Amino acid sequence: MTFGARLDAALDARGSLCVGIDPHPSLLADWGLSVDADGLARFAATCVAAFGDLAAVVKPQSAFFELHGSSGIAVLEGTLATLREAGAIAVLDAKRGDIGSTVAAYAAAYLDPSSPLACDAITVNPYLGVGALDPVFELCERHDAGAFVLARTSNKEGAQVQDARVADGRTVAQVIVDDVAARNAGAEPLGSLGVVVGATVDPEDCSVGELNGPVLAPGVGAQGGTAADVRRVFGASARAVLPSASREVLRHGPDIGALRDAVSRLVEDFAFLRG
């Protein structure tokens, strides 16, 4: 099955929520864990136990694993593998973006099934040009993997570049969405290439109505985004939207039951997306 087809089935089975695994050092300390690779491993294992079999999509943030060097990368390898064993779609938030052989190496590192860091999809940065990501898109097709291309992100600094207008009046973010949409044309039930559009952005600046692919929507929960915002921003396109929450869930740890309850509540809040 293509990534788009697997994701569509997972959303039907488990709901639309994407849960982040963001082991920030302060959060490790809040959980009573040591701020080192051992604490990281316990944190990640608790997250997988709590919602690896519950959430449709789980998104580890690569930076917080890289922070601990080779030991942290080893924890990330194991986390990605156990998430997939638990039936979750594992999306690695790495935001990679480069050109030529370098971006091809990034693609192989995360999307080739034989790689120790293999995941279902990665986030990628298109601001060297969407076409520079072609090696990523080619491996997505070859290995039935996925990619989420940054378009209109939830951070306020993004507006400086992403809301800029090109000659035909579209925002840069819209140009990126339209490029990805063209690559998804004709895919059923859902294209394997998605975009990242924040849950609190102005829908006039970035429409995903023609994307035919998934939308990763950060900004929910601790960043202020609500179910009403998701409905307002995405409207009729909301069926393929993945509201992404991290701190809103992880603040309930390390109690596994409390983490599961938090995920279940958010899944219910966004049940309208697949209704």
Distance from C-alpha of 202 to C-alpha of 232, rounded to nearest angstrom: 9
Cα radius of gyration rounded to whole Å, the chain: 17
Distance from C-alpha of 9 to C-alpha of 1, rounded to nearest angstrom: 10
Instruction: Give exposure, 83-104, as e/b (b: 16+ Cβ within 10 Å).
Output: bbebebbbbbbbbbbbeeeebb
Q: Given the DSSP bridges, would you call strands 57-60 and 18-21 parallel, antiparallel or unpaired?
A: parallel
Structure tokens belonging to residue 74: 């080893």
Structure tokens belonging to residue 97: 């973006």
Active site residue 59: no
Distance from C-alpha of 70 to C-alpha of 82, rounded to nearest angstrom: 19
Catalytic-labelled residue, pool 24, 84, 95, 247 = 95
Contacts (Cβ under 8 Å, ≥6 apart) of 202: none
H or E stretch covering 197 = strand 193-197
Distance from C-alpha of 98 to C-alpha of 104, rounded to nearest angstrom: 9
* Residues assigned a catalytic role: 95
